[in-house]
Amino acid sequence: MAFSTLSFQALSLILFTLTILIVSLIRKKRNYWYSRAIPVAKGQSVLSTLPVCRLNEKHLTSYRNIAIETPIVGLHDAGKPCVLICDVQAASIVLSNDGFVEDTEISQAHTHSKIPNVITEDNMQVVMPAMAECVKELAVSLEGLANRKMTIAPWAALKRCASNTVATCVYGETMIDSRMKAFEELCNVAMKYEKTQTAGKHLISYENALSANCIKTMLCKAANIDIVDDEIRMDMFTFVTKAIEPTAALVTATLYELSQNSRIQSQLRNQLDEVLDEDLNNLTIEQLDRIPYLDSVIHETLRKYPLMPVIRCIVTKPYSIQTKQKTLTIEPGVVTLIPVHAYHHDKIHFTNPETFHPNRFPGQLSSAYIPYGSGPQSYIGKHFIGLEAKMIVAILLSKYEFTVDKRNPGKAPNPFDKSSFSEFRVQLSSRMARNCVMEQSLQELSKKNKLFKLF
C-alpha cells in the first residue's frame, strides 16, 4: 500500500513538473512575437508552439480574416516562429524581394535559376508537337472507356500523361515503356525526397538523349555550356518535379468543375468546335489562343484550386514592413507564409469566391491572383504547365463528355490535400455515341410523324 502511494506521488510530481515546463515553453514561444511588437494570430492553438504540433494550413484563411487590417501576424509551426502575410500588396513585395528564398534546402543552395529565362511562352512552340502527341495518346487510351460510359478516376491517367509529356519534351524523344517506367520511378523518388541534392542528380540520368528541340538543349544554350553541370541538373530537377503532379491536379480540378456544370462545359465545347478541326491534327498555340473561354476556365480553376495554396519563404536578411503606427521587422530564419488560397477566396477581390465562374476573367486578374506565385518564387514551369493543361482539356472535351455519376460521385479535389485528387470520379461518354443515339431517335420520330420530315 505504501509503495503504491509513493508511486502515485512520484507520478504526480513528474506530471506536475512536465506541465510547468510545457507552460513555460508555451509562454516563451508566444512572447517571441509580443517582444517584437508583432501581433499574434488569434485562434491558433497554443499547442502549435510545441515541436510536435504542425500548423494546419487550412486555417490560415480564418487567421487572415480576423487580422485583415494587419499586414502581418505571428504564428508558430512545430514550435518555430513564422509570419502570415495578410496584406496582398505586402505579399507581392515579399515574393519579388531577394531577401526571401523558397523554403527548401535546394533553393537555399541554388537560387540563381536559368530556367525562368528559358521556359517561356515563345519557347513552348518548340515542344508543342511532342506535347500534342502525348496528349493524343491519352485521349485514345480513354476511348474504350468512353464508349461504355464508364466512371473513372482520371488522376492516374493524367499523371502518367504528364510524366510522359515531361520526359518527351525534356529529352526530345519518345520514351519507350521500359525507360518510361524507370523515369516515373525516379520522379516518384525525387518528389518524395526533393529536399536533397542527391535526388536531383539521380533524377536526370539520361545524358546522351539530347535533341535539337528539347528542354535540356535550351538550358545548355542558355548556360553557354556543352555539358549539363550541377546547376543545370538542379534546374531540370525543379522543373520536372514541379510539372508533373501540378499539371495532373490542374486538369483533374478542371474536369471536376466541368462535370458539375454542363452549361459551362457546353459553352467551352462550342468554342472548341469552332476553332479545332475534327481530327485535332496540327494543333497549334495560335489555335488555343483563339479560344478565350478556355483561358478563362483554366484561370478560374487555378483561382479556386491554386497549385500552391500556401507559399513558404525563408527570410535571409532583416525585412521591415511599415505600418501607420510602427515598423514591423521580420528576422532572418523566420518562415514567411503567403496564403494564396485565402487571397483567391477573398470576397473583396473575387465576388462569390466559392462559385466556379470563368466569366470573371480576365476582368478580375489582380495582384490577389497568384496561382503560380510571382517573381523569383513563381513556378519555373508555369508556361509549360499552362499550355499542357489547356491542350489536355481541349482535346478531351472535343472528344468526350464528362458528367457526375450520381451512384459513384467520388470526392471533390481539395488543394490542401493532394491525395484527394485521386479520389475524384467522373463518368466519361463519347460524343460520337451521343450523336448516334440522337440521330437514331430523330429517325424514329420521323417515321412516326410524316409531317416531321428530317431525312
For residues 205 and 318, membership in a common domain is answered with no
Whether residues 192 and 299 share a domain: the answer is yes
One domain for residues 105 and 235: no
Same domain? For 68 and 49 the reply is yes
Say which residue, 356 or 237, is predicted with more confidence: 356
80-85 vs 335-338, strand pairing mode? parallel
Q: Tell me the pLDDT tens digit for each residue of 419-442.
A: 899 999 999 999 864 445 444 444
| 48 pLDDT higher than 90 | no
Measured CA to CA in angstroms, residue 89 lies from 86, 105, 106, 378 at distances of: 9, 27, 27, 16
pTM of the model: 0.82
For the chain, the average pLDDT equals 77
Q: Check pLDDT > 50 for residue 452.
A: no
> Bridge-partner residues for 373, per DSSP?
371
Same domain assignment for residues 148 and 261: yes
In a domain, 197, yes or no: yes
> Cβ–Cβ contacts within 10 Å for residue 126, how many?
17
Residues in the chain: 455
> Does residue 95 share a domain with residue 19?
yes
Residue 22 domain-assigned?
yes
CATH number, domain at 260? 1.10.630.10
Number of compact structural domains in the chain? 2
Phi, psi of 402 (to 5 degrees): -120, 125
Q: Are both 64 and 100 inside the same structural domain? A: yes
Is residue 406 within 8 Å of 418, Cβ to Cβ? Answer: no
Any idea what DSSP says for residue 355?
A: S
- Asked, for residue 349, whether it belongs to a domain, the answer is no
26 in a structural domain: yes
Q: 328 with 186, same domain?
A: no
Distance of CA 98 to CAs 77, 174, 316, 322, Å?
A: 24, 39, 8, 18
Q: What band does 364 get if pLDDT is binned at 50, 70 and 90?
A: low
Q: Are 314 and 103 in contact (CB under 8 A)?
A: yes
Could you tell me if 101 and 239 lie in one domain?
A: no
Inside any domain, residue 368: yes
Percent of the chain with pLDDT over 90: 28
Peptide bond preceding 409 in cis form (omega within 30 of 0): no
Note whether 154 and 131 are same-domain residues: yes
Domain that holds residue 68: 11-112+313-338
Residue 3 lies in a domain: no
User: Would you say residue 336 has pLDDT above 80?
Assistant: yes
Grid coordinates of 130: 511532342
Does 96 share its domain with 165?
Answer: no
Q: What distance in Å separates the CA atoms of residue 255 and residue 404, rounded to the nearest whole number?
A: 10
pLDDT tens digits, 87-130: 888 888 888 877 777 765 444 444 456 565 667 777 788 788 88
Query: Quick check: is 5 in a domain?
Result: no
Dist CA 76 CA 240 (whole Å): 32
- 291 domain-assigned: yes
Instruction: Return d(Cα 25, Cα 335) in angstroms, integer.
Output: 20
Residues 233, 126 share a domain: yes
